[in-house]
Amino acid sequence: MSDPRRPPITRREAVVRLSSATLAAAAVGAGTLGFLDRRVAVAAGAEIRDWRVAPPPGTPPAAAARGGTPSENVRRAVAALGGIERFVRPGETVLLKPNVGWDRLPEQAANTDPQVVAELVRLCKGAGAKRVLVADISCNDPARCFSRSGVLAAAGEAGAEVLDARKLPLVAANLTGAASGLEVIAPLLAADKVINVPVAKHHSLSRVTLGMKNWFGVLGRGRNRLHQDIDRCIAELGATFRPTLTVIDATRVLLDNGPQGGSLDDVKAVGAVLAGTDPVLCDAWGAIQLGVDPRSLGFVAEAEKRGLGRGDPRLVKELGKA
């Protein structure tokens, strides 16, 4: 190798070149191994938590208050379950899911009454909740729905963050059955506690829409195919989303042309609010406020069959008028 025409390179240069090549090779190796199958091709859906709180013995599974203002009714009904402190701990993030589906005024009873939502916000804040979020994916333009329903103003004033439905991030969740593959609003999955706050309304397919049907509003694009087998799908949603509380707004109920309504002739002032931990029982009570026998509802039967609760309205503690 000792060719007089080619004197060897200096030791220093050899060391520099060998080490830089080795470093580069190490970087290639590290990059290859670091990125190798780092992500699976298809990500698994996020877990949906169980937000329920075990009730102490002796408390009723649901309580209904009537006669007072919407706020008073909410307070009395929740108090009868042992008070909000039983359900919401200081520092927690609570998500309220009202029905704000439509560009309608409170008098038209197509959306949850703003005072019911606002009172729940105040209760949660009073119990020390760090954040109270209000979210729904409306059917009409969300800006119009939240503004005209009065929910944006009332809940905002009470201290809630009312989330803009147009900007709600959607994520894949491990939904099963009919809703499998659909996306769910991300703040719901991150919340510590969840309160479902539907309004009692007529519905042309499921006959009535109440608590379990209200979960449609946390689902993204594609949820409209769930109407193909509505009773089964409502029960499946009830099995998937297990809220801390269900609060049914029957301040005004919509008896016909649901779920949008429009005419005040279809609205009946009932002046009642129910709070409960058994979602099937809550829906059964709501049906009665609409003049519908819960035993005749397919989704109540489907939900009972799945063991999600008991649709027997006699189990509701009626607090009567204030």
Question: Given the rule CB under 8 A, which residues bind another protein?
Answer: 3, 5-6, 8-9, 13-14, 17-18, 20-21, 24-25, 28-29, 31-32, 35-39, 41-42, 172, 176-183, 220-222, 225-226, 228-229, 232-233, 236, 239
Side chain identity at residue 32, one-letter code: T
Phi-psi region of 270 (alpha: psi -120 to 50; beta: other; left: phi over 0): alpha
In terms of CB distance, is 210 or 219 closer to another protein? 219
In terms of CB distance, is 183 or 266 closer to another protein? 183
228-241: string of b/e by CB count within 10 Å (b at 16+)? Answer: eebbbbbbbbbbbb
Distances 116 to 111, 112, 147, 196, 267 between C-alpha atoms, Å: 11, 7, 16, 12, 17
DSSP per residue, 70-87: HHHHHHHHHHHTT-GGGT
SS3 (DSSP) at 53 = coil
In terms of CB distance, is 47 or 314 closer to another protein? 47
CB of residue 2 to another protein, shortest distance in Å: 13
CB of residue 9 to another protein, shortest distance in Å: 5
In terms of CB distance, is 221 or 314 closer to another protein? 221
CB of residue 308 to another protein, shortest distance in Å: 12
CB of residue 53 to another protein, shortest distance in Å: 24
CB of residue 297 to another protein, shortest distance in Å: 18
In terms of CB distance, is 31 or 67 closer to another protein? 31
Among 243, 244, 246, 228, smallest CA distance to 179 is for 228
